[in-house]
Amino acid sequence: MRVSLKWLKDYVTVTIPPADVAERLTMAGCEVKGLETIGGEWENILVGQITAVNPHPNADRLRRTTVNLGKEQQTVVCGAPNVRVGDKIVFARTGAKLMDGHTGQVFRLKAAKIRGVESAGMVCSEKELGLSENHAGIMVLPPDVPVGMPLTDLIGDTIFDLEITPNRPDCLSVIGIAREVAVLIGKAVCLPEVKYEESEPPVSEQMSIEIVAPDLCPRYCASLITGVQVKPSPNWMQERLLACGMRPINNVVDVTNYVMLEYGQPLHSFDYHTIGGRKIIVRRAYEGESIISLDGVERALTPDMLVIADEKRAVAIAGVMGGANTEVSDQTTAILLEAANFNPPSIHSTGDVLRLPSEARYRFERGISPELAMYALRRATQLIVELTGGKAAKGLVDVYPGKKAKEPVTLSVDKARRLLGIDFGAERMVRTLKSLGFECEITDSQIKATPPYWRSDIRLEVDVIEEIARIIGYDKIPATLLGEPLPKQTPDPMPGLKREVRSALVAYGFTDVLNFSLTGMDMMNRLMPEPHAIEPAPIRVANPMTAEMEYLRLNLRAGLLAAFAANRKHEDGSIRLFEMGKVYIPRGKGLPDERENVCGVMGGFRLEKSWQESEPLDFFDAKGVAETLFQRLGLEAAFETSSDDSLHANKQAAIIVACEKVGVVGEVHPRVLAAFEINEPVYLLEIDLRTLLPLSMAQREYHPVPRFPAIVRDMALVVDSGVTHARVQSIIKSFPLVEKAEIFDVYAGEQVSVGKKSMAYRLTFRSADQTLTDDDASRVQEQILSKLIAEVGAVLRG
Amino acid sequence: MFVGTEMLKQLEEIKQKAQQEMDAVKDASALESWRVRYLGKKSELTRVLRGLASLPIEERKAVGAFGNELKSHLEEVYQLKEMALKEAQLKASAAREVIDITLPGRRLPVGHLHPITQTINEICEIFTSMGFGVVDGPEVEWDYYNFEALNIPEGHPARDNMSSSWIDHKAEPGGRRMLLRTHNTAVSARMVETLRPPIRVVSPGKVYRYEASDATHTPMFHQIDGLAVDKGITMADLKGTLYEFARRFFGEDRRVRFRCDYFPFVEPGVEMAVECAVCHGGGCRLCGNSGWIEILGAGMTHPHVLQRGGIDPEVYQSYAFGIGIERLPMLRYGIDDIRLFYGCDLRFLRQF
Ligand SMILES: [Zn+2]
């Protein structure tokens, strides 16, 4: 909402600078987003009248011009071709800041002698004042402007660009803002006096109004003005409309817009003679009905939309836009003027379905008071009579099925104190409310406050409390800290686990990234080496912005692989990325299962690129990250074969903790990599944190530090190449005296026969109760070997 | 007498010679042969001293004393030389082992926490230290918790400012509709329903708007919402809590402002701003000439919101606040494009 300070001054005397007005409005709830000054710095510039024009003694093209400034006369040298005795002009005294008419540069005017004649100032062109590019001659003002008036007061203005919150439709008007300003600077509001002559016959004899849908139209008022002459509205009105961002059309339409801006009540003008049967019917649209709106578009209407109709047809979409069939034109001679009130949700849904934003709809949607209609109608009728030379028919039509009694809100002084944390006292509260137009009645520490008719937003005690607080000022409320007792918290362990996993991954060189949760089918398809339907089908957004943002992601993989590829364009070293976030698994019914996941991708080298070679990553680096992570969480992870489509068939493993699958690690399938335009191996680690959470909360088991020394023996075996480390290790570890069995070499090649491999283990023997002897260790080692021979056909390597 | 004098003379010669030879010793092997020659079992000194027995008792004493003195002198000479040689060797090897210490070290890969993660962690720490718990809620939410429960019925103008992404789903009982939550206040609506006072919780998370991306908008961003419900909670407490948050997040010297604003789920409603760090209140481009930067919306929870959750607003009072996350690191670091947070670009993320 744009409000001109000059217009505001019609209703309230503003004595403080505009910036201070803006500050107070902002603090009290009407945010001033911008303050525009029209006219700039016009100090020492005022209205003058040319009283004499004499030739310059030394120059043919210059004149000695005498200017009357009211209290004084000044003589200046002027070269403009349009200097004429009697004209009102703009005079700049020395010291004024002007723009050079030729160079456009700003300069400060000094006293000067021009060709030997003293010049006390300047008569200005529009360009010199910064008003336009016109420098052909001096600016000539209308003859009725008072001599001596500062130019700022004449054409200068300040525009407040206000952000009005949806609860304050009353502030979508100059008078509404004037009321706020008046309260905030301690002044009174003075409303325009509305008076006009009425003539017979009365409206009621020329017009009838019927509200068929009172649930959607609480009030409909109308007036009739005949003998009008439609033409452009006067300059002052056009200027005000333009300053507020509205385009002038003609004197009738401009008045409806002007009064809407002034009072906040939308109005609509019909060409009276186009209304069939001289009857207005407010009803729901018929099935299949349509109307061509004022913008020339044919609109299909539905029975839940409210229309204004005559006997035969719809003539306006109520509260949203008028119809072309009854539009006021140059030929119009009689105006039916409507000021009504409509049900906000109905207006909203009609406007929404028709995709028709309008100033009227904007105000009705926010619930303006039905009381406003009559005030605005009378004002608009007066202005139309004044501007069109028309005659107002006697009386007004007012159908008001939705009239409600004024309901006071009961406010407890104590409640206000308890809610705000400060006691402003009953007297100050009442004073504040009265300044806002409330009627107040005090009874035993209770205030019965009846809001003024324009405040449709005040319904509850807290609404009144806010009024008191915002006018006295939120800065008067002290700042205190919450007291005891602290609420008992049942901490959610998930944030803790997330933080732990995040900091571990960052320590292992992974960078935390964020992708949008919305993704496209194309991205999901890229994760599949063989095309097939995605199971489960992802959740779809009904109104997707783009195809890339149509579905909720089922995993974090695609975003990370795309991020890997994008970073590879400028990173030639290692890339390690991870994302932690939700994935959305549909459940068929109800809200989806939102699972907290973490996924990491890595490619490149083990160490950062440097002057020394580093080795490229392989599967065991990714697995190592998983192992290190789980060790840090105090969990023992096992790895089992797995069959994840997006991963390399032989280079992937399921991560198992306490018999539950918590994730997967592996090399990304080459075809998936190709789909993401990645041409290097990338390793992926994915963990479902929700499954992991209960496991991670298990109490850690404490084992005493060993008291007896260990015996360490190495053992090299030759086995079939299909025998896994896990199998061998579990056999060795099945012996109680074996504390550790670490593999330190795996070899297949010339030294062993084809189809075989050699595996070397370092065994640590220890007993919890005694020092073992070499014999003890040898005995167990023998037993281990025979078990290995029996179960995996192992041969001790010589 | 004669014999003893002769022996003393011999010992004196040994001393002279040993010293001369020692001066010429340059390495460990020469030192070893010197040791064998002068301190070994078959050394000249040993040989001379073996003749002591043939001396008369009074001479034996004097010569013997000189001989022992000489022996310990030679041992000392030996040790000094040994130390000198070791020292020289260390120096020599140090001189050989020169490296260019300006070459880069062998670095481990370094990861970085996302600035949004860092900001959320920081804010959660501030509020947990004030007794707030951290809670979570669904991102795909019922229309009810996102809107109706918060006094935003169908057709309310506040819905226009939060254009929603609706979910394509099967018909639900009561025509309930699902959407991507447009604000984290939806979690507070759930908390009012599931928790009983006293309540103090914050909920960080993702929110969604049906909006195209530009430098200041993304269809997904983060918020943290706070809720406190108890007997006697006041607007002064709200101010105190949020001022304390601002003091800890922005620092002691930044001025803070509380002004009236409107949100359907609170009354009275508040907007809090901090002094613009660029112009210190004077007005500049960043703050739109106002000198202030809005950082959060808040207020006293609307009685109808409490009632819907089964909390009696006559008994309990409550406040709520909602902070936009992205704005904070943007202000702190001078980041001018919100899309950078979702670009996954290491060149950006490595700086945090
Ligand atoms: Zn600034």
- A429-464 pLDDT tens trace: 999 999 999 999 998 889 999 999 999 999 999 999
Judged by CB atoms closer than 8 Å, whether chains meet at A421 and B206 is answered as no
A669 to each of A528, A569, A651, A665, how far by Cα in Å? 9, 21, 9, 12
Q: Does A674 touch chain B (CB under 8 A)?
A: no
Percent pLDDT > 70 in chain A is 100
Q: Which residue has the tokens 């950006």?
A: B348
- Asked if pLDDT for residue A40 goes beyond 80, the answer is no
From chain A residues 310-369, the ones with a CB under 8 A of any chain B CB are 344-346, 348-349, 365-366
- By DSSP bridging, strand A511-512 and strand A575-585 are parallel
Residues 6+ apart with CB under 8 A from A9: none
Distances (CA, A) of A526 to A520, A531, A547, A556, A681: 10, 9, 15, 13, 16
Angle made by CA atoms A206, A207, A212, in degrees to the nearest 5: 165
CB contact under 8 A, A566 and B344: yes
Query: What average pLDDT does this structure show over B270-294?
Result: 88
CB-CB neighbours of B200 under 10 Å: 23
Q: What are phi and psi of A714, to 5 degrees?
A: -100, 150
Token readout for A456 is 């449709």
pLDDT band at B49 (very low <50, low <70, confident <90, very high): confident
> Which residues are near ligand 1, the ion (C-beta closer than 5 Å)?
B 276, 278-279, 284, 286-287
Contact call for B131 and A466, based on CB within 8 A? no
Do B199 and B227 meet the contact criterion of CB atoms below 8 Å apart?
Answer: yes
Candidate ranges A175-179, A440-444, A693-697, B82-86; pick with highest mean pLDDT: A175-179
pLDDT for res B2: 56
Contacts of A118 (CB under 8 A, 6+ apart): A75, A111
Which has more confidence, B67 or A391? A391
d(CA A267, CA B134): 51
CA-CA distance, A110 to A97, in Å (whole number)?
10
CA of B280 to the centre of ligand 1 (A): 6
What mean pLDDT value characterizes chain B? Answer: 91
Return the structure tokens found at A645: 């489509």
Cα dihedral across residues A148, A152, A155, A160: positive or negative: negative
- Residues 6 or more apart whose Cβ sits within 8 Å of residue B175: none
d(CA A90, CA A81): 15
Q: How far apart are the first and last CA of chain A?
A: 93
Distance CA(A225)–CA(A650), nearest Å, equals 89
**DSSP code string of A498-529:** HHHHHHHHHHTTPEE----SEE-HHHHHHT-S
Interface test with B, best of A24, A365, A415, A462 (most B CBs within 10 A): A462
Express each pLDDT in A120-174 by its tens digit: 889 998 888 887 788 888 988 888 888 988 888 787 889 999 999 999 999 999 9
Beta-bridge partners for B272:
B258, B296
Give me ligand 1 centre to Cα B308, in Å: 41
Look at A661-665, B28-32, B261-265 and tell me which has the smallest mean pLDDT.
Answer: B28-32
Tell me the pTM.
0.84
CA of B288 to the centre of ligand 1 (A): 7
The alpha carbon of A27 and the centre of ligand 1 are apart by a number of angstroms equal to 18
Q: What is the CA radius of gyration of chain B?
A: 44
Which residues face A64 on adjacent strands? A54, A77
Q: A173 CB contacts (<8 Å, ≥6 apart)?
A: A260, A261, A262, A263, A264, A265
- The answer to whether A508 and B111 are in contact (CB under 8 A) is yes
For the record, the structure tokens of B309 come out as: 């959750």
**How far is the centre of ligand 1, averaged over its atoms, from the C-alpha of A18 (Å)?**
19
Mapping DSSP to helix (H, G, I), strand (E, B) and coil, where does residue B173 land? helix
Confidence check: pLDDT of A677 > 80: yes
> What is the rounded end-to-end Cα distance, in angstroms, of chain B?
94
Helices (H) and strands (E) in chain B, counts: 12, 10
**Least Cα separation, residue B82 to chain A (angstroms):** 40
Rounded CA-CA distance A89/A67 in Å is 9
Residue found by looking up tokens 């032989």 in the block: A650
**pLDDT of amino acid A201:** 92
pLDDT tens-digit profile of A207-245? 999 999 999 999 999 999 999 999 999 989 998 998 888
Distance, CA A9 to ligand 1 centroid (Å)? 30
Which of A411, A467, A474 to mutate: most B Cβ within 10 Å? A474
pLDDT at position A102: 83
Is residue A748 classed exposed, middle or buried when 0-12, 13-18 and 19+ CB atoms within 10 A define those classes? middle
Partnered with residue A398 across adjacent β-strands are A221
On whether the CB atoms of residues A271 and A334 are closer than 8 A, the answer is yes
Chains A and B: how many Cβ contacts under 8 Å?
268
Q: Rounded to whole angstroms, how far apart are CA atoms A430 and A432?
A: 5
Chain A residue numbers touching B234 (CB-CB < 8 A) = 418-421, 480
Give the C-alpha separation, A514 to A581, whole Å.
Answer: 8
**pLDDT, position B57:** 82
- Of A399, A458, A10, A426, whose CA–CA distance to A219 is shortest? A399
User: Could you tell me if A226 and A419 are in contact, meaning their C-beta atoms sit under 8 angstroms apart?
Assistant: no
Distance CA B172, CA B176 (A): 6
**Residues β-bridged to residue A284:** A306
For A227: left if phi > 0, alpha if psi spans -120 to 50, otherwise beta; the answer is left
Residues 514-533 of A with CB under 8 A from B: 514-518
Residues of B in contact with A591 (CB under 8 A): 138, 140-142, 178
A610 interfaces chain B, CB cutoff of 8 Å:
yes
Mean pLDDT, chain A, rounded, equals 92
The owner of tokens 């325009």 is A192
More confident residue, B106 or A689: A689
Rg of the Cα atoms in chain A: 42
Q: Convert the pLDDT of each residue in A568-623 to its tens digit.
A: 999 988 999 999 999 999 998 899 999 999 999 999 998 887 787 888 999 999 99
What does the alpha-carbon distance between residue A647 and residue A550 come to, in Å, rounded to a whole number? 25
Tell me whether residues A481 and B134 touch, CB distance under 8 A. no
Q: What mean pLDDT do residues A361-383 have?
A: 96
Instruction: Identify whether the C-beta of residue A757 lies closer than 8 Å to the C-beta of residue A719.
Output: yes
Q: What DSSP assignment string belongs to A27-86? A: HTT-EEEEEEEES---TTEEEEEEEEEEE-SS-SS-EEEEEE-SS-EEEEEE--TT--TT
pLDDT in tens, A754-783: 999 999 999 999 998 999 999 999 999 999
CB contact under 8 A, A345 and B153: yes
Please provide the DSSP assignment of B57-81 as one string.
HHHHHHHHHHHHHHHHHHHHHHHHH
Six-digit token string for B83: 């130390």
A55, A46, A38: which is closest to A122 by C-alpha?
A: A46
Distance (Å) from the C-alpha of residue B257 to the closest C-alpha of chain A? 8
> CA angle at residue A356 from A351 to A362, to 5 degrees?
65
Q: How many C-beta neighbours within 10 Å does residue A607 have?
A: 18
Query: Measured between beta carbons, which residues in chain B are less than 8 angstroms from residue A421?
Result: 234-237, 239
Token pair for residue A434?
């009265």
Contacts of A270 (CB under 8 A, 6+ apart): A315, A316, A322, A326, A328, A335, A336, A337, A338
Over residues B161-175, mean pLDDT? 88
Using one digit for the tens of pLDDT, what is the confidence trace for A299-340? 999 999 999 999 999 999 999 999 999 999 999 999 999 999
Phi, psi of A306 (to 5 degrees): -90, 135
Res B1: pLDDT: 47
The angle at the Cα of B325, spanning B117 to A514, to the nearest 5 degrees, equals 45
Q: Can you tell me whether residue A399 is helix, strand or coil?
A: strand
Q: Are A740 and A703 in contact (CB under 8 A)?
A: no
- Ligand 1 centroid – CA B273 distance (Å): 12
Structure tokens at A165: 């919150």
